[in-house]
Amino acid sequence: MRNKKTLYAYLHIFNGDMYAIILNEGSLSAWKAPTLHESSVPKL
């Protein structure tokens, strides 16, 4: 009987882009995070 939820997450930088790799209860998902210059510089 397992009553603890397992959640693993780590950040990975690939070609200058940051990804959040999340392993939750055996399901793997990757979320692409906006890079620093994309979020801080307004688009003209």
Task: Provide the pLDDT for residue 36.
Answer: 58
What is the residue extent of each domain of the chain? 7-40
- Beta strand segments in 1-44, E: 7-14, 17-24, 27-33
Closest residue by Cα to residue 36 from 15, 14, 16 = 16
pTM for the predicted model, two decimal places: 0.44
Write out the chain's pLDDT in tens, 44 residues: 565 666 778 888 878 788 888 888 778 888 887 655 555 555 55
Task: Provide the pLDDT for residue 28.
Answer: 86
CA distance 33 to 43: 17
- Which residues are bridge partners to 18 per DSSP? 13, 33
Task: Provide the pLDDT for residue 29.
Answer: 87
Helices (H), the chain: 36-40
